[in-house]
Amino acid sequence: MGKGNRAVVTTFGLCGCLLLIAVANLPAAEPLSVTSPDGKLTLTFELKQNPQPYLPGVRAYYRVSYQGEPVLEDSPLGLDFKG
């Protein structure tokens, strides 16, 4: 992935974090997608509960697709602290 694509993914990631904060109090929500201006890159955010090996409970997940093909499947978004 080139520097330009990394910048776009980083920008989408930051926008996604802000959007997730806005809906964080909802138990579950419809997926929220953001698409790049050229329509090639799509970031989708969703609050949902995934089966093992994912952590239990409703959590924020994101996935990335490029030209309709998945690049990154459900990846947890957030921080888990010990203690």
pLDDT at 59: 82
Instruction: Pull the structure tokens for residue 39.
Output: 């329509």
The full set of domain ranges for the chain reads: 3-76
What b/e sequence results for 20-32 when a residue is b if at least 16 CB atoms lie within 10 Å of its CB, and e otherwise? beeeeeeeebeeb
Q: Please report which residue ranges of 1-83 form alpha helices under DSSP H.
A: 3-22
CB atoms inside a 10 Å sphere around CB 12 = 19
Q: Residues with Cβ < 8 Å from 50, sequence gap 6 or more?
A: 59, 61, 74
| Residue position matching structure tokens 């924020």 | 60
pLDDT tens across 20-71, in order?
555 455 555 688 999 999 999 999 999 888 777 777 788 888 999 999 999 9
Q: pTM of the entire structure?
A: 0.57
Instruction: Pull the structure tokens for residue 78.
Output: 């957030």
